[in-house]
Chains A and B, each alone.
Chain A
Amino acid sequence: MAAAAATAVVGVALIFAFVLQTAWPVLTRVGIAQFIFGDTWYPTRGRFGLLPLVAGSAALLLGALLLGAPAGVMTAIFLSEYCPKRLASLLRPAIDLLAGIPSVIYGFFGLISIVPIVRSVFGGAGFGPVAGSLILAVMILPTITSVSRDALEAVPRDYRLGGLALGATQWRTVYDVVVPSAWSGIVTSVVLGVGRAVGETMAVLMVIGNAPRFPRAAGQPISALTSQVALDMAYASGDHRTALFGIAALLLFITMGLVGVGRLTVRRQARQGRRR
């Protein structure tokens, strides 16, 4: 068991070392600031500015967060507080299944159904931040729902009884006692969901159009950090190739940051639990 754990740790360390080492030449040549904040990504002409991709990823994440987090948390509240047991036993596996669908299928679904809708509503190509955000929102929903739901169900039943026994409505008891008690778990669920969205490649690649430009309109193609790596890897060489490893390094740091935030909230929750 210890050996298995060690494999995981060593594996992560090796990936980090390998990615950073491969990316190093381009990072030193272009300069880290210019690499991350440069405003043009035109690798075949030696322009390695990631800002359009960072902005694209940020737009997708923000959209996914705004759509997916409320939907996921509301679903969790419904399942844990309101839903009859019978219905919950149907809904739960259905939501878990959402998490298990291969992302290429999400992409395919987005391509044939969401993109045309975005095109007719917002105009433009349809490929772009809105289509990508919608797909990502659905993909992170199961994570947010299941982690939030666990947090809500861990709230002592006495809190609910206490609220209802004071003559409060169920909704007030839920939003003013149960949800605040589970708050750090809910935040953790959102962080985990965002973590999933950051790393998502395939589904995003299929619906955003993949033009490394700043997001300006709902239905205009953009590109994201992950999808750009996946697309360019097939043909890139030289500095272009190393620059892709630079993107990978940036992604690794972002995910690491998110894991850190997640752990912090979990730890804070544990501390509050002790005080209880």
Chain B
Amino acid sequence: MSEYAIELRNVSVAYGDCQCLADVSLAIPINSVVALIGPSGCGKSTLIRSMNRTNELVAKTVTTGEVNFGGRDVYGSRMDLRELRERIGMVFQRPNPFPKSIFDNVAWGLRSNGIRGRKRLEEAVERSLRAAALWDAVSSKLDQPALGLSGGQQQRLCIARALAVEPEILLMDEPCSALDPIATQRIEDLIDELKERYTIVIVTHNMQQAARIADFTAFLMAEQPHEPSRIVEFGRSVEIFTRPGDERTEAYVTGRFG
């Protein structure tokens, strides 16, 4: 058993003629929180989406290199995309609960796996909502529309929905960018609890957030505009934010650009 939840080796991603990421190698340790930071448009989202192959849902992309997950290549021909996305959950920038009840939202992933038993679904929904620290707020109104929840609650619902299918890794693409500071705080607390059981990769444009919650941080940027981004530095967050080894990292984390 590897000590890494997922390992990228020399991964490059291109959209059409535009090379977006080049030669990214990154090993994500199990049960850790890894933050991806960098200036806007540097490909943080592309990188996180390359791990569960959701880039190809958004646009035509060509990915080269190897993404090793549980001993298999995510881009290999024998990879089952459904299984991959079940085992690597994802939370998006804007909360995207489905226009259904709270219960049906959380149970949705399980139902699409063919799980029907009412009791099993109820247990899973409660467990997931508790894990997402939302149970107390919604336990009395599970049959009400999810779209009636506040933005922060909607995002925690989306986390619960992702947790319900029991993934191993949770990918979070700027999960707090549409939330107010209090809701953001709650999500951060939640991430701290979740890393006991899950491996979390989070994209954030907020360096304080990365410093607060991430065990490891990767800093991405392009050498020149219109060139592909690369990983400039990857290491323990403490190092990255206090004693960065690269002057570009230092310039970025101290807020001199970006």
Identify the A interface with B (CB < 8 A): 156-169, 172, 176-177, 180-181, 272, 275-276
Contact = CB atoms under 8 A, between A and B. Distances in A.
Contacts of A180: 99-100
Interface of B: 52, 54, 57-58, 82-87, 89-90, 92, 94, 96, 98-100, 108-109, 112-113, 145, 147-148, 158, 161-162, 165
B57 A161 contact: yes
13 contacts: A156-B96, A160-B57, A161-B90, A161-B96, A165-B54, A166-B86, A166-B161, A167-B112, A167-B165, A168-B108, A169-B82, A177-B98, A180-B99
A181 B105 CA distance: 13
Contacts of A164: 54, 57, 85
B230 to A, nearest CB: 26
B52 A181 contact: no
Contact of B112 (A158, A159, A168, A181): A168
B112 A162 contact: no
B57 A158 contact: no
A275 B100 CA distance: 12
B72 to A, nearest CB: 16
Given A180-B100, A275-B148, A165 B85 contact: yes
Contacts, number: 72
Nearest to A172: B112
Contacts of B100: 180
- The majority secondary structure among interface residues of chain B is helix
Given A161-B54, A161-B58, A275-B145, A166 B162 contact: yes
A163 to B, nearest CB: 8
A52 B90 CA distance: 59
Task: Identify the 6 closest CB pairs spanning chains A and B, nearest first.
Answer: A167-B86, A158-B96, A168-B112, A166-B109, A165-B90, A167-B85
A271 to B, nearest CB: 12
B92 A167 contact: no
Contact of B98 (A167, A181, A275): A181
A166 B92 contact: no
Given A166-B112, A167-B86, A272 B99 contact: yes
Contacts of A159: 96, 98
B52 A165 contact: yes
A176 B104 CA distance: 11
Most buried by B among A159, A164, A172: A164
Contacts of A177: 98, 108
A188 B108 CA distance: 27
Most buried by A among B86, B100, B108, B147: B108
Contact of B147 (A172, A176, A275): A275
Contacts of A172: 112
B69 to A, nearest CB: 14
A168 B107 CA distance: 12
Given A162-B161, A167-B83, 8 more contacts: A158-B92, A160-B57, A161-B54, A162-B158, A163-B98, A164-B85, A166-B165, A272-B99
Nearest to B99: A181
Nearest to A181: B99
Contacts of B58: 157, 161
Contacts of B83: 167
Most buried by B among A167, A168, A177, A180: A167
A217 B113 CA distance: 46
A181 B112 CA distance: 17
Most buried by A among B52, B96, B158: B96
Contacts of B85: 164-167
B52 to A, nearest CB: 7
